[in-house]
Amino acid sequence: MIEYLTKDDIILMNKEMLQNIEVKKADKHKVLSKSAIEAAVQAAKDEKGDVYDKATMMLLMLVTKHPFESGNRRTAFIATRTFLALNGENPEIIRDDRVLLGIREGFYTKAEVKEWLQGNEIRPFKRR
């Protein structure tokens, strides 16, 4: 049975991440849309397929829906890694801000993102 993160888990991840990994002085924890976080969790639950399909959907939703004032991509990555670990998966994924930017901009397909989450290479992001 697949275990899922909750909206509150993801909100706490954003808060803790911003306290520990400051990138910009302006970074601050503020939830802009609880419903976007809930939608990401629900989309993962509704997604057909394996745990990687569900992780891919959650990552895509959290990155593109921008539910936090700061740290959306970092939080999405941490939440996705946590979700995979919670379900017994620990692939070697290196957080790459360029890949996360490419996801936000729709550069990658779902299949490419899933492959990346499984620890495989992903083509370099290039703006169109």
What CATH fold (topology level) applies to the domain 7-20+30-117?
A: Four Helix Bundle (Hemerythrin (Met), subunit A) (1.20.120)
**One-letter amino acid for residue 62 of the chain:** L
pTM: 0.94
pLDDT per position as a tens digit, 11-40 = 999 999 998 876 777 788 999 999 999 999
- The token duo for 60 is 């895509």
CA–CA dist 117, 33 (Å, integer): 25
pLDDT per position as a tens digit, 32-62 = 999 999 999 999 999 999 999 999 999 999 9
CA–CA dist 108, 39 (Å, integer): 21
Q: Are 13 and 37 in contact (CB under 8 A)?
A: no
CA–CA dist 72, 10 (Å, integer): 10
* Eight-state DSSP code of residue 70: S
